[in-house]
Amino acid sequence: MSLKEQIVMSQLPQHVAIIMDGNGRWAKSKGKIRLFGHKFGVRAVHNITEAAAELGIKYLTLYTFSTENWSRPLAEIKGIMSLLVSTIAEETETLLKNNVRLRVIGNNSLPDKVQAKLDECVKKTENNTGLTLVLALSYSSRWEITEAVRSIAKQVKDGAIDIDAIDQNTVQNNLSTSFMPDPELLIRTSGECRISNFLLWQIAYSELYFTDTLWPDFDKEELYKAIVEYQHRERRFGMTSEQLKK
């Protein structure tokens, strides 16, 4: 049986999040500059988005650029930003064809030109009803949680909510990801086993999947493999195995 055939369609994760890592090392292994890796990383984004849409996954969140990534050499940042602009321009038609809706989460400090291109694509695809592709751009989870705290404090001050009424849902509803469920599956490529400030609140009970494959080599088969492994895990949520089998 092929990997794809092993996927139980009725138990598909609704939301898959991916830390796309390893572009630089992939390029280096080929004797090329880092930007070459980012270019081929885009091809993987295209393929994985298509695979997720074909399977019927509802949300795919891709960690595309972290707030910490602003510390990289300026030439690399510029290269990534212009790659973003050209990719959005080239891919919008495909997103429309595949009924994919684009959303962006992050701290709004992208260059105007990049932001404008993204806004345009978000607008064009807003009525699509298939996969929602979420790009985390200039995103970090601590930034997001801090913003949520600020927003909740303001609502308390304005008398819109009572302090004693604050619960987990209040926090969840004030995160930039409030429009989607938490990811059931988080994938990180390139062999690094860390979260790097991504979706800290949302992955409280996600299944974590780490693979040595570098992001530009991550193809549809690799995604199917991750989903099959996810489906073999027992998600206990604090209960015992026996309880779950009842």
| Contact residues for ligand IPE, defined by CB under 6 A | 19-25, 63-66, 68-69, 80, 190, 192, 194, 196
The active-site residue out of 21, 23, 128, 182 is 21
Q: How far is the CB of 202 from Mg ion (least distance, A)?
A: 21
Q: Does the annotation mark 69 as catalytic?
A: yes
Yes or no: say if 137 and 105 are a contact pair by the CB < 8 Å rule.
Answer: yes
Considering the rule CB under 5 A, would residue 64 count as an interface residue with Mg ion? no
Give every CB contact of residue 215 below 8 A, 6+ residues apart in sequence. 20, 21, 22, 23, 26, 37, 41, 44, 189, 190
* Window 4-63: residues binding Mg ion (CB under 5 A): 21
Report the chain's C-alpha Rg in angstroms.
19
CA distance 172 to 20: 24
Q: Does the annotation mark 21 as catalytic?
A: yes
Q: What residue number has its CB nearest to Mg ion?
A: 21
Residue 136 forms beta bridges with which residues?
63, 105
Nearer to Mg ion, 21 or 144 (CB): 21
Q: How far is the CB of 212 from ligand IPE (least distance, A)?
A: 12
Yes or no: say if 183 and 202 are a contact pair by the CB < 8 Å rule.
Answer: yes
The active-site residue out of 23, 47, 69, 174 is 69
Return the active site residues.
21, 69
Binding site for Mg ion (CB under 5 A): 21
